[in-house]
Copies of this chain bind each other. A is one copy, B any other.
């Protein structure tokens, strides 16, 4: 399991790979080891700190829920030690037609051991014709 991320994009790839592979340990390795971390998933209460984030991802990745996710980058903002990636998550559920699209902001912070996720926040998108076109 990878636990060093040389760039924010390496951390982002590992985050979505962990969802694809339903690997809670890999998911938790991407999050910063701090109680400042924040995770806000669709229609869930905000999760703050290692314990809350770990408990929630273990539950979700251990459940029967299956879906496939594609990521579309909309914007990157990077400073010396913080990187903000604003993306669309296109989520397909096997056996169901269509895709659900949600916005996500992923914020990474650079620590002594590389880049880790500091904040993940989802927001609903408006109807497709109002989103940024391809």
Q: Interface on A for B, CB 8 Å cutoff?
A: 36, 38, 40, 43-46, 48, 74-75, 77, 79-82, 84, 86, 103, 105, 107, 109, 118-119, 121-126, 130-132
User: Are B86 and A74 in contact (CB-based, < 8 A)?
Assistant: no
In Å, the complex CA distance between A74 and B122 comes to 17
In Å, the complex CA distance between A119 and B81 comes to 17
In Å, the complex CA distance between A74 and B109 comes to 19
Q: Of the candidates B38, B48, B121, B131, which one forms a contact with A121 in the assembled complex, judged by CB atoms under 8 Å apart?
A: B121
In Å, the complex CA distance between A100 and B124 comes to 16
User: What copy number does this chain have within its complex?
Assistant: 2
Known contacts A44-B130, A126-B44, A105 near B121 by CB under 8 Å: yes
Smallest beta-carbon distance A48→chain B, Å: 6
User: Are A84 and B107 in contact (CB-based, < 8 A)?
Assistant: yes
User: Are A45 and B132 in contact (CB-based, < 8 A)?
Assistant: yes
Known contacts A105-B105, A121-B105, A45 near B130 by CB under 8 Å: yes
User: Are B45 and A124 in contact (CB-based, < 8 A)?
Assistant: no
